[in-house]
A and B are shown apart, each in its own frame.
Chain A
Amino acid sequence: MSVPRFWRRLKNIYNLIGTHCEKCGSFLYPPRNMCPKCRRNGMTIPFKFKGTGEVLTYTIVHTGAKDYTKLTPYILAIIKLDEGPQLTSQVICDHSQIRIGMKVKAAFRKLGEESEKGMIYYGTKFVPMEG
């Protein structure tokens, strides 16, 4: 992903900042500039999610995406945040530990890099909630 394109969303990706619609009460992540329920009548404001949630579904990717070959195999998951919205991310844990319904929390990790010379992308992945 190009530098400006990543930079534009970097705060959201670092800190799980999505959108809250004050009209209908929806919590949205990834962020949107239009509420899908209220559309033009919506009143959307940035909203920082706590970063806790659970694994809705997952896979262990053995043929990795371009930036992730060094990390392969890795756990890709859909996380349902406690506030409601669902997002795609990785879960960092022993591969035998991952399961549907597992409670997780946000962690700050490298997402990838353009090359040894290029930009390094950081963002939010998830780790098991301890205890």
Chain B
Amino acid sequence: MSVGIVSYGAYIPRYRIRVEEIAKVWGANPNSIIDGLMVYEKSVPDLDEDTITIAVEAARHAINRAGIDPQEIGALYTGSESHPYAVKPSSTVVAEAIGATPNLTVADFEFACKAGTAAIQTCMGMVDSGMIKLGMAIGADVSQGAPGDALEYTAAAGGVAYVIGKKDLVANIESTYSFTTDTPDFWRREGMPYPEHGGRFTGEPGYFKHVSSAAQGLMKKMGTKPSDYDYAIFHQPNGKFPTRVAKMLGFSSEQIKPGLVVTRLGNTYSGSCMMGLAATLDIAKAGDRIFMTSFGSGAGSDSFSYTVTDRIEEIRNGAPSVEKLLADPIYINYATYARHKNKIKL
């Protein structure tokens, strides 16, 4: 099997709000929050941006990076927990806006922060079975944190798109492994604007159990160990969790460093570890091996093992790097942030 990544593209809105600015509004100590979360600032969508516009921009970058013919895309899945419509797919807009319609199958995925990696797995299966030539898997979110809630410091906006296929791969996906249980650590009920979460319950029984089980499961299945990998990315709801889980599993801080974008970006939910992977591919060389594990509350984790090919050099500069998207931000205050996030009802 030689299914893998044919191209990728990311998109991050230009606006940022610093943790200090949010902490000031709620009378919290910013330093303890920064220390606790290892997040300094987070991205904020423009007034006219949402999950769909972000997904389209990321998808277009993926198309442009490798000169993909959008008509060859046979399946497109957008993973998000902030689809603008409760009913009506985001993916139809994306497919139309990249010129992939009408001969393809699309659907929206939702699995908290791991809907995007579930979409990658779905595309892998369809490509490998010969059902489709190319599949596009997107993770994009304009995630919501209730005003004053701990999530407000990290809930960010961004998206990443991967084109999955068999030919002209920039990275082979050697294997994937998932670990899933019914663990209600975080949810948002239909019609509710903000999610509820189980506080510390999201940690041990949620994030750490699922990420480590999936990661260990994949390495066991493949017979690999942390030192076999040049880079590793773990879902990054904050800076602390992926750092801790990497250590628990035996990965070094050097291995996770290029992909740890959360400190300057916040948690882009469905885009989170996919953004880390994009940032890692931006600097990876042919032959590099990358380990990735996502996490979605509810709960589940998908682990992947990649090997980068020499094709990466040919397409690297065909679209903006994650570093470029993070550069030159516009910092806004809480009032402007509240307006951008539609927290002020008109």
Task: State the A residues within 8 Å of B (CB).
Answer: 10-11, 14-15, 48, 69-71, 92, 94, 107-111, 120, 122, 125
Cβ of B97 under 8 Å from chain A: yes
For the complex, give the distance between the alpha carbons of A80 and B99 in Å. 23
Residues of B within 8 A of A71 (CB): 47-48
Do B97 and A14 have beta carbons less than 8 Å apart? yes
Count of A-B contacts judged by CB separation below 8 Å: 43
Do B47 and A108 have beta carbons less than 8 Å apart? no
Cβ of B114 under 8 Å from chain A: no
- Minimal beta-carbon separation of B112 from chain A (angstroms): 23
For the complex, give the distance between the alpha carbons of A120 and B96 in Å. 15
Are A110 and B96 CB-contacts (below 8 A) given A70-B346, A120-B84? no
> Which of B60, B84, B97 lies at the interface centre, i.e. has the most chain A CB atoms within 10 A of its CB?
B97
**B 34-49 contacts with A by CB, 8 A:** 46-49
- Minimal beta-carbon separation of B108 from chain A (angstroms): 14
* Number of B residues, CB within 8 Å of A: 18
Do A69 and B48 have beta carbons less than 8 Å apart? no
Cβ of B170 under 8 Å from chain A: no
Do B53 and A108 have beta carbons less than 8 Å apart? yes
Residues of A within 8 A of B50 (CB): 110, 120
Cβ contact of B96, chosen from A14, A48, A70, A94, cutoff 8 A: A14
Do A92 and B85 have beta carbons less than 8 Å apart? no
A-B contact list, 24 entries, CB within 8 Å = A10-B96, A11-B96, A14-B93, A15-B96, A15-B97, A70-B47, A70-B346, A92-B46, A94-B330, A107-B57, A108-B53, A108-B60, A109-B48, A109-B49, A110-B48, A110-B50, A110-B52, A110-B53, A120-B50, A120-B85, A122-B52, A122-B53, A122-B56, A122-B97
Residues of B within 8 A of A110 (CB): 48-50, 52-53
Known: A70-B47, A109-B49, A120-B50. 13 other contacts (CB 8 A): A14-B93, A15-B99, A92-B46, A94-B330, A108-B53, A108-B60, A108-B97, A109-B46, A110-B53, A120-B52, A122-B53, A122-B56, A122-B93
- Minimal beta-carbon separation of B319 from chain A (angstroms): 12
- Minimal beta-carbon separation of B314 from chain A (angstroms): 22
For the complex, give the distance between the alpha carbons of A10 and B94 in Å. 12
For the complex, give the distance between the alpha carbons of A92 and B45 in Å. 13
For the complex, give the distance between the alpha carbons of A14 and B55 in Å. 13
Residues of B within 8 A of A108 (CB): 53, 56-57, 60, 97
For the complex, give the distance between the alpha carbons of A4 and B49 in Å. 23
Residues of A within 8 A of B96 (CB): 10-11, 14-15
**B 291-346 contacts with A by CB, 8 A:** 330, 346
- Minimal beta-carbon separation of B46 from chain A (angstroms): 7
For the complex, give the distance between the alpha carbons of A94 and B15 in Å. 12
- Minimal beta-carbon separation of B333 from chain A (angstroms): 16
For the complex, give the distance between the alpha carbons of A122 and B98 in Å. 13
**B 95-130 contacts with A by CB, 8 A:** 96-97, 99
- Minimal beta-carbon separation of B136 from chain A (angstroms): 15
- Minimal beta-carbon separation of B335 from chain A (angstroms): 14
Residues of B within 8 A of A111 (CB): 48
- Minimal beta-carbon separation of B94 from chain A (angstroms): 9
Residues of A within 8 A of B85 (CB): 120
Residues of B within 8 A of A69 (CB): 346
